[in-house]
A = this chain, B = another copy of it.
Amino acid sequence: MQQLLDDIAVRARPLAVEGKVADYIPALARVPADRFALAVRMADGSEHATGDTDMAFSIQSISKLFTLAMAMEWIGDELWERVGREPSGMRFNSLIQLETERGIPRNPFINAGAIVVTDAILARRPMLESSFRTTMRLLAGTERPQYDEEVHRSETETGDLNRAIAYVLKAYGNLREDPMVVTRAYFRACSMAMSARELARAATFLMTPDHDGPFVRGDHAPRLRALMRLCGLYDQSGEFAYRVGLPGKSGVGGGILVVQPGRYTACAWSPPLDRFGNSVAATAALELLAAELG
């Protein structure tokens, strides 16, 4: 297994040159483009990894997967009255569909949907900032996960489009808290920093139907995976499904998390992104991994 991961790293890592590190905020632009990690956690609990496996990176939109899991656990089906479960066919931060569909975001993985999810959680967990960190630490089995203050600050400074989205949601009556409060909490979750190994471990609950973890009921796992398949990789979810074939969730920090139900979870990380916002080398690494592990 170690040999397999090392081989994949040799083949996938050089592809990073085809991508471009996210530069919309300085804190992300500064991450060295040649970082690379691939971590796999098997159903039996064994872990295998290669590269910068323990280096923390900004999880960004991968946080949407975990906040959604929390919302499904803490809120239940009424969540789905406020956010849809269909692919959007548009960029993750588009306002167009939000207007034509009167404030109901297409799914929880586009920004508008994640902001609604954040708002819904805030009603139950006003201290979302510490709840989210505590949960991520429990899932990762370590106290290491923490917020990257610099990323958070940058995010807040450049977050006008997300604030616009929040005000549209408010205008259509689909936001309970103040848009400024909700977007702050949303930016906070995006700024969480974790390593590939920690993310693979934190996603264990998505692999095993009889999971007995700290907070997520086992029957949520297949539904979360269904959503990941449909819209986990922005407007490239179909391409990813076609090439990799596994439910996944990506972030502009360069990480991608996948799950093979009953068998393993894996997280690959490489900062340079393709034009859709997904890591080039991480996608390639997971494609090779999925092909090898069947």
Q: Does any Cβ of B come within 8 Å of A236's Cβ? A: yes
Q: Does any Cβ of B come within 8 Å of A123's Cβ? A: no
The answer to whether A168 and B95 have CB atoms under 8 Å apart is yes
Q: How far is the CA of A85 from the CA of B171 in the complex (A)?
A: 27
Q: Which chain B residues lie closer than 8 Å to A237 at the CB level?
A: 86-87, 230
Q: Does any Cβ of B come within 8 Å of A204's Cβ? A: no
Within 8 A of B (CB), among A168-211: 168, 170-171, 179
The answer to whether B95 and A95 have CB atoms under 8 Å apart is yes
Q: Which chain B residues lie closer than 8 Å to A230 at the CB level?
A: 87, 229-230, 237-238, 241
Q: Does any Cβ of B come within 8 Å of A97's Cβ? A: yes
The answer to whether B239 and A85 have CB atoms under 8 Å apart is yes
Would you give the shortest CB distance from A165 to chain B, in whole angstroms?
A: 8
Interface residue total, chain A, C-beta cutoff 8 A: 42
Q: How far is the CA of A290 from the CA of B147 in the complex (A)?
A: 41
Q: Does any Cβ of B come within 8 Å of A19's Cβ? A: no
Q: Which chain B residues lie closer than 8 Å to A223 at the CB level?
A: 242, 245
Q: Does any Cβ of B come within 8 Å of A167's Cβ? A: yes
Q: How far is the CA of A257 from the CA of B86 in the complex (A)?
A: 20
Q: Which chain B residues lie closer than 8 Å to A96 at the CB level?
A: 95-96, 99-100
Would you give the shortest CB distance from A283 to chain B, in whole angstroms?
A: 14
Given A163-B167, A231-B238, A241-B230, verify A87-B85 contact (CB < 8 Å).
Answer: no
Q: How far is the CA of A106 from the CA of B88 in the complex (A)?
A: 12
| Nearest residue, chain B, Cβ from A163 | B167
Would you give the shortest CB distance from A230 to chain B, in whole angstroms?
A: 5
Q: Does any Cβ of B come within 8 Å of A10's Cβ? A: no
Q: Which chain B residues lie closer than 8 Å to A87 at the CB level?
A: 86-87, 89, 230-231, 237-238
The answer to whether A85 and B164 have CB atoms under 8 Å apart is no
Q: Does any Cβ of B come within 8 Å of A227's Cβ? A: yes
A50-90 contact mask (Cβ, 8 Å, vs B): 1 or 0: 00000000000000000000000000000000001111111
Within 8 A of B (CB), among A102-160: 106-107, 160
Given A160-B171, A167-B167, A170-B160, verify A238-B85 contact (CB < 8 Å).
Answer: yes
Q: Which chain B residues lie closer than 8 Å to A227 at the CB level?
A: 238, 241-242
The answer to whether A167 and B171 have CB atoms under 8 Å apart is no
Chain A residues near B (Cβ < 8 Å): 84-90, 94-100, 106-107, 160-161, 163-168, 170-171, 179, 222-223, 226-227, 229-231, 235-239, 241-242, 245
